[in-house]
Amino acid sequence: MNPSARRRAEGFAFLAAFGLCIPAANWLIGNVGTTCVPGGGPCLIPVAPGLLAPSGVLMVGLALVLRDLVQRRLGLGWAGAAVLAGAALSALLAPPALVVASAAAFLVGEAVDLAVYTPLQRRGLVLAVALSGVAGLVLDSVVFLLLAFGGLDYLAGQVVGKLWMVFASLPLVAWLRRRDEVLGLSAS
């Protein structure tokens, strides 16, 4: 497969995975956890000793990384469109009580991720993914928790849970960067 075709194929695979993170996060938050808060609250999972987070955080952390990879493979236009489509999809799939919070948090978190990643990507892919992920996940967490639950009770857990996913993906991102250099698949 020629480099251009490979880039596009990988880009669309990353885009599909990014899109799948949205329904997965919405499903997880209402269905999977060691405990579920009564009265429409989130299902929680342990993310560190003594620290719980809504279970959707795992998919949100992964979505931040995948958005960066969509941009790397398909360009800024595709990444921007993915963010807007993702916010709409998040609103469509979120439980009724979480529609505004889910869509707003997704839009803010991914837009901040895009804004931080874009200028840093040429300096170093792994650094750009890590820093943009951290910026996006913090703002996503604050917006979601304030709008969904009126407070920041789960902020530490949200941040830690998303960090796990961002940091767990960094070895794959580093491998992808090295492989790109060998195969001549430069960044967009």
123 by Cβ neighbours in 10 Å (0-12 / 13-18 / 19+) ranks as exposed
- Residue 185: the pLDDT is 72
Rounded to whole angstroms, the Cα distance separating 82 from 86 reads: 6
- Residue 188: the pLDDT is 47
The CATH number of residue 22's host domain is 1.10.1760
- Residue 89: the pLDDT is 86
Structural domain boundaries enclosing 167: 3-181
What's the first-to-final CA gap in the chain, in angstroms? 18
Asked if the structure places residue 186 within a domain, the reply is no
What total of structural domains would you count in the chain? Answer: 1
Give the position of tokens 């490979």: 6
Q: Rounded to a whole number, what is the largest CA-CA distance in the chain?
A: 54
Asked if the structure places residue 187 within a domain, the reply is no
- Residue 152: the pLDDT is 92
CA 182 to chain CA centroid, Å, is 27
Rounded to whole angstroms, the Cα distance separating 72 from 10 reads: 10
- Residue 186: the pLDDT is 64
> What letter would DSSP give residue 150?
S
Asked if the structure places residue 11 within a domain, the reply is yes
Joined tokens for residue 78: 């595709």
- Residue 12: the pLDDT is 97
Total length of the chain: 188
Secondary structure tally for the chain: helices H, strands E? 6, 3
Q: Give pLDDT < 50 ranges for the chain.
A: 188
Task: State the pTM of this model.
Answer: 0.88
Rounded to whole angstroms, the Cα distance separating 166 from 92 reads: 25
Asked if the structure places residue 158 within a domain, the reply is yes
Asked if the structure places residue 57 within a domain, the reply is yes
